[in-house]
């Protein structure tokens, strides 16, 4: 390219990743010709906000549109073509073919650098009978939001079925319940929100059931049927049962939009393949956001991350690379957070089963602690799990669920994970403290202390799933108060309150292992230390009675 000619940059996609790239390019080069191609009738649309607008937390869905073509032209001198679709890419000619969806006319635009930010599209359900169905919706875009809202009001819907128990599906469930509809949730996996460990997800399932959501877990929706005689619609599930409803909303995941990239000869696997500068197999074509594969920093393998934050960072990085200010994209650890009615759940890193599947042999501990000092009003317990390497204590992941304080702990732990910190670092981490915001020993510190005890072999924990079906192998001692024990307890457990343990120690046999547990685990730890130092083979139940009950283990034992 001639030094005298301004750089021609085309960005395909006008949401977070594409806009971030375009405006960063402008900040670095006032002379460049920058064009944005967007298929929808709007740009700079906050897709992540769609469920909240559907719920009514965001009163006007128009606020999800954060900029307009005119605004982008005035502030950044960007040429924005809305209602315009990318048809093809010619790498050899450095040219794209686009089509106006209004006039149906196609035209060519030449580029020096092309940035693809086409995002992803809803995965298609394999359900029979969906031809010409009016009450079956996919929730993803702004127009989906309007169609669902209009249909509910116009048809006076009383019932709804949501298919898909991930982030968007759970948001849809909550909104539809707030409208007063009776809601059922169908999820093909045996738990909601599969990025979490099963017992942590059980907290969310309990919250859904508390809010009168009927769960169909481990079942697929296979067929849509219309009963004209009874004027109702229903779906047939994989177990042969049928469930009727006025409205059906699907939210079963996303697939990267890769067809045009593939047709152009770019390297594509599940998503578009890029290097650490976000360049595709053609060095003049970049790809960012939901359509690309980036490296998961724990698995050291490609993954697709449908989150707005990484896309925005990638867009900025692309602009820097174009203008020779290169920095590399360091990969992802998959940090997410979501609200389900009264609860917030957050995760960073990978769940235990996923870590095992890629070759890790992780250890983990689960604690329950107030989000701030218990003596200060309005404190609320949160459950926090950290996952770590057995010998080094290096952090591999964390999960938290509670009403308050989840976000700050997950953000701290995400930062720690990305920095390569260990549980020993978490013990000593200095965090802000005042009684209304935290504790003198923050939940992050407390989790670090507990995990460090495990690595140092000052504590051996038995996880609840290791106890289910194996209670006969242990002398099980419940060290809670007698009145708590009388309400409910682990099968075959005996009650010796913690403050009486030393005086009643002779009643515990030394010829078989002892499992102790308390309400949340701390008194169980004290009991464990007493027993170990007196020569007993012992273990403390991870997460105590609270995890045993709230994680679904007690219910499994009673079946």
Fold observed for domain 136-252:
FAD/NAD(P)-binding domain (3.50.50)
Which string of DSSP letters, residue by residue, matches 24-43? HHHHH-SS-EEEEE-SSS-E
Q: Round to whole Å and give the CA distance between 308 and 15.
A: 9
- Global pTM? 0.93
Q: Round to whole Å and give the CA distance between 215 and 167.
A: 15
Helix ranges, 215-351 (H): 259-263, 308-322
Alpha-carbon torsion angle 96, 102, 104, 109, nearest 10: -20
Q: Round to whole Å and give the CA distance between 60 and 318.
A: 33
Residue for token pair 């196609």: 106
Is residue 239 within 8 A of residue 154, CB to CB? The reply is no
Residue for token pair 């995760």: 347
- Per-residue pLDDT of 266-314, as tens digits, reads 999 999 999 999 999 999 999 999 999 999 999 999 999 888 789 999 9
Fold observed for domain 8-121+255-323:
FAD/NAD(P)-binding domain (3.50.50)
CB neighbourhood size of 392 (10 A): 12
**CA-only gyration radius of the chain, Å:** 27
At residue 441, what are phi and psi to the nearest 5 degrees? Answer: -115, 100
Q: Round to whole Å and give the CA distance between 28 and 360.
A: 43
Side-chain-side CA neighbours of 223 within 13 Å: the count stands at 9
At 55 the pLDDT is 61
Read off the DSSP letter of residue 240. S
The Cα diameter of the chain in Å comes to: 91
Residues of the chain with CATH 3.40.250.10: 461-556
State whether residue 450 is helix, strand or coil: helix
Is residue 397 within 8 A of residue 366, CB to CB? The reply is no
At 146 the pLDDT is 76
Q: Round to whole Å and give the CA distance between 92 and 445.
A: 56
Taking the chain (559 residues) in runs of 10, the rounded mean pLDDT of each run is 80 93 97 96 73 67 73 94 97 97 96 97 88 86 76 94 93 89 96 97 98 97 86 92 94 92 97 98 97 96 88 96 93 95 97 96 97 91 97 98 97 98 98 93 97 98 95 96 96 96 96 97 98 98 97 82
CATH 3.30.365.10 fits 336-456, yes or no: no
Q: Round to whole Å and give the CA distance between 267 and 480.
A: 60
- Per-residue pLDDT of 38-63, as tens digits, reads 998 888 766 666 666 666 677 666 65
Residue for token pair 């897709």: 47
Residue for token pair 């929100």: 193
Residues of the chain with CATH 3.50.50.60: 8-121+255-323, 136-252, 336-456
Helix (H) or strand (E) holding 495: strand 494-495
CATH (one of 3.40.1210.10, 3.40.250.10, 2.120.10.70, 3.10.20.30) for 461-556: 3.40.250.10
Tokens of 100: 């106006």
Q: Round to whole Å and give the CA distance between 499 and 556.
A: 30
Is residue 329 within 8 A of residue 313, CB to CB? The reply is yes
State whether residue 218 is helix, strand or coil: coil
Q: Round to whole Å and give the CA distance between 253 and 121.
A: 8
∠518-524-530 over CA atoms, to 5°?
Answer: 145
């Amino acid at each position: 390219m001639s030094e005298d000619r301004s750089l021609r940059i085309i960005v395909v996609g006008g949401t977070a990743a594409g806009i971030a790239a375009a405006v960063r390019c402008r900040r670095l080069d006032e002379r460049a010709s920058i064009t944005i191609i967007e298929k929808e009738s709007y740009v700079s649309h906050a897709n992540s906000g769609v469920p909240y607008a559907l719920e009514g937390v965001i009163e006007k869905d128009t606020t999800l549109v954060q900029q307009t073509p005119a605004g982008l032209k005035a502030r950044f001198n960007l040429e924005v073509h809305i209602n315009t679709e990318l048809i093809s890419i010619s790498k050899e000619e450095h040219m794209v073919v686009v089509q106006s969806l209004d006039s149906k006319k196609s035209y060519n635009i030449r580029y020096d650098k092309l940035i693809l930010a086409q995002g992803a599209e809803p995965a298609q359900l394999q359900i029979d009978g969906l031809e010409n169905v009016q009450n079956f919706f996919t929730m993803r875009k702004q127009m989906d939001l309007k169609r669902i809202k209009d249909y509910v009001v116009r048809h006076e819907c009383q019932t709804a079925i949501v298919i898909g128990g991930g982030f968007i599906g759970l948001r849809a469930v909550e909104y539809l319940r707030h409208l007063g509809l009776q809601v059922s949730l169908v999820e093909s996996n045996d738990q909601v929100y599969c990025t979490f460990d099963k017992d942590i997800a059980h907290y969310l399932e309990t919250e859904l059931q508390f809010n009168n959501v009927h769960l169909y877990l481990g079942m697929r929706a296979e067929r849509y049927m219309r009963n004209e005689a009874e004027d109702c619609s229903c779906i047939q599930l994989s177990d042969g049962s049928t469930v009727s409803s006025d409205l059906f909303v699907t939210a079963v995941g996303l697939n990267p939009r890769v067809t045009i990239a593939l047709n152009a000869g770019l390297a594509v696997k599940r998503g578009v393949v890029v290097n650490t500068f976000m360049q595709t197999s053609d060095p003049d074509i970049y790809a960012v956001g939901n359509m690309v594969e980036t490296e998961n920093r724990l698995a050291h393998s490609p993954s697709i991350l449908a989150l707005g934050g990484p896309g925005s960072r990638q867009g900025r990085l692309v602009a820097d690379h174009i203008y020779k200010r290169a920095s590399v994209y360091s990969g992802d650890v998959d940090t997410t957070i979501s609200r389900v009615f009264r609860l917030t759940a957050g995760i960073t890193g990978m769940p235990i089963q996923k870590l095992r599947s890629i070759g890790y042999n992780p250890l983990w501990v689960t604690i329950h602690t107030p989000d701030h000092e218990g003596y200060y009003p309005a404190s609320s317990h949160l459950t926090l799990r950290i996952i770590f390497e057995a010998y080094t204590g290096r952090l591999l992941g964390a999960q938290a669920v509670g009403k308050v304080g989840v976000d700050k702990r997950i953000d701290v732990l995400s930062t720690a994970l990305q920095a390569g910190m260990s549980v020993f670092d978490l013990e000593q981490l200095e965090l802000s403290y005042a009684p209304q915001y935290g504790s003198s020993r923050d939940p992050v510190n407390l989790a670090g202390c507990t995990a460090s005890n495990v690595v140092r072999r000052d504590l051996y924990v038995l996880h609840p799933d290791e106890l289910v079906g194996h209670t006969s192998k242990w002398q099980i001692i419940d060290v809670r108060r007698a009145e708590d024990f009388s309400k409910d307890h682990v099968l075959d457990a005996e009650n010796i309150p913690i403050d009486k343990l030393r005086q009643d120690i002779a009643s515990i046999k030394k010829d078989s292992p002892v499992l102790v547990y308390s309400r949340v685990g701390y008194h169980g730890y004290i009991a464990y230390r007493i027993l170990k130092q007196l020569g007993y083979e012992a273990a403390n139940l991870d997460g105590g009675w609270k995890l045993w009950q709230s994680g679904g283990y007690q219910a499994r034992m009673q079946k």
